Structure 1
Amino acid sequence: MPVQFTVLASGSGGNASLLAAHGFGLLLDAGLGPRKLGLRLHAAGASWNRVHAVLLTHTHADHCRATIFRHLLRRSIPLYCHAQHHDELCQFGPIFGMLREQGLVCGYESGKSLHLAPGFVCRPLPLRHDSTATFGFRFEIADGLFGDQLALAYAADLGTWDLDLAEALADVDLLALEFNHDVDLEQDSGRLPSLIERVLGDDGHLSNQHAAALLEEILRRSSCGRLRHLVQLHLSRDCNRPLLAAQAARALLAGLAPHVAVHTARQHEPSPTFALGCTHNGLTPSARRAVQRMRSGLSSIHVQPLLPGMEEFIAEARHREPL
């Protein structure tokens, strides 16, 4: 079964995505209530029964709703978060403490690989944002019997980036990356100057232009043709337009990687489900190479000639009456 990724919601009104592989479903952020998340899961052809863990990027309300905790407790779904998130999550009420008492709160550390399920590894990546301990993630997932390693990366809610982050996001099959705002629309928005300064600052959000620059650096550090899908995340409702975000990405990709498909995630409806792993003729690249090797091996097999007189014996046997 291919690895599947779906953005259930993306924007300041709430964020959540579903990553599924090897029968394990991971909900990345829970910025909607459990009922609305259930509806989004259903619209994406899934359900809460396919969610086996929740992984938090940070504790802002558009990424983690307090109402989700009781639902996780009732379903015994573990919550993965950073140790620095605990104080913030405790302010949501006593239910977080109940999750901890039941052993349903699991931790992750910056840069340290987290094994979520067999063949399903996550590496947390620290991001600059005005929230306690904000992270993106790189996922590496074993795919099939032929040694393929699929990779996905998720990075939203970051105000700036460096070369270390670009390196960590390189060589992935799918990149989900924040394209939050258009700088001109942000500056002319009429918002409070303090809010504009926050959004444009190093601890705010990536503009379309800054995201495109990060994408360029990622591509320069990636194997040619590796990236297949770019999913644009966390567009501002007031200070961006899907067309502007897509144009910024496609202008960059036209010269470096025109094969990359661009999708802009929305706030009020799920994205398409991106299936990774089964590509051409239902085979992964490694599987195709293995089949080609077998075919070339078969074509080079030398058959031993038959002994003298055996051709006549075989022909006679084929026409012999059955007993």
Structure 2
Amino acid sequence: MRYTTVNGRTVSALCLGAMKFGSTTDAATSAALLDRFVEAGGTFVDTADCYQFWVEGGQGHESETFLGRWRRERGVTDEVVIATKVGAQPTVPGAGLEAQEGLSAEVVATAAERSRERLGVDALDLLYAHREDPGTPVEETVGAFAELVAEGTVREFGISNHSTWRLERARATAQAGGRPRPRVLQYRYSYLQPRHDAPLESTGHRHLTPELLDFVRAEGAQGREYALVAYTPLLTGAYTRPDRPLEYAYDHPGTTARLAALDGVAEESGATRNQVVLAWLMDHDPQIIPLVGVSTTAQLDEALEATDLALTAEQHARLTAAH
């Protein structure tokens, strides 16, 4: 297992997504996957307070509730960092993201308290603002998260799926008020790059853009480091499964060139496409922590083995240059 740091705290360089745990992935399988991840040295798990409201019979909170039960049954404490998110839970039963709770100060405080109760913790390790809330000023949201950090019920504040200008406004607001700033960012990202003029099929996803990467590099140069976490790094199986075709946004010549480079490096290293993708992300500049969702032990083991795959500098450069 590789390790990295998230603002001074050591975590595994691979994050396990628990979105389906306790719902579409049954309890026994979910527990086995978590146990296997921890046994292999994994220490970083991701969830949200709305997972999975969209499946039949789902209310949201299933994943957090399951993780809380797993923590109690296994006696897990601070050795595993559990990140969660607030703001996207629908306010109307049966509704979608158009009815999300949002990120007002009242919602953030209430949702964070509920997440702490479900997870069974005194303080949330990492709490993200899940999605943009155009109806709430960024200043109000930053103030709400900063208050939770100040009172000790949230250790780290993160932002997911926000435009770059909102990130900068959040940073500037925090700095002006002497408050904690968001220091962890979560976006969709993988080796293959979509056209940014074509929408992704999942309306809840926001892709990590070149502009945002430039923002992170520039901030780092000023001593303001950000940790980057990338969800959907394996494109829901599209790298290896014929039954999972790439979506329309990836239909461009750059995809063909990158797949050719990917296959070349996979053959040289004796690894799978998925493993090369994960290794490329872990060696990325700026560094990226891939967040993988799995439903079988075989899928998890493939991802875990990627943490031991060392790409050469030439291989990484060749993959990056393909377009």
TM-score (norm 1): 0.40
TM-score (norm 2): 0.40
- The structure in which a higher percent of residues are strand is 1
Higher-Rg member (1/2): 1
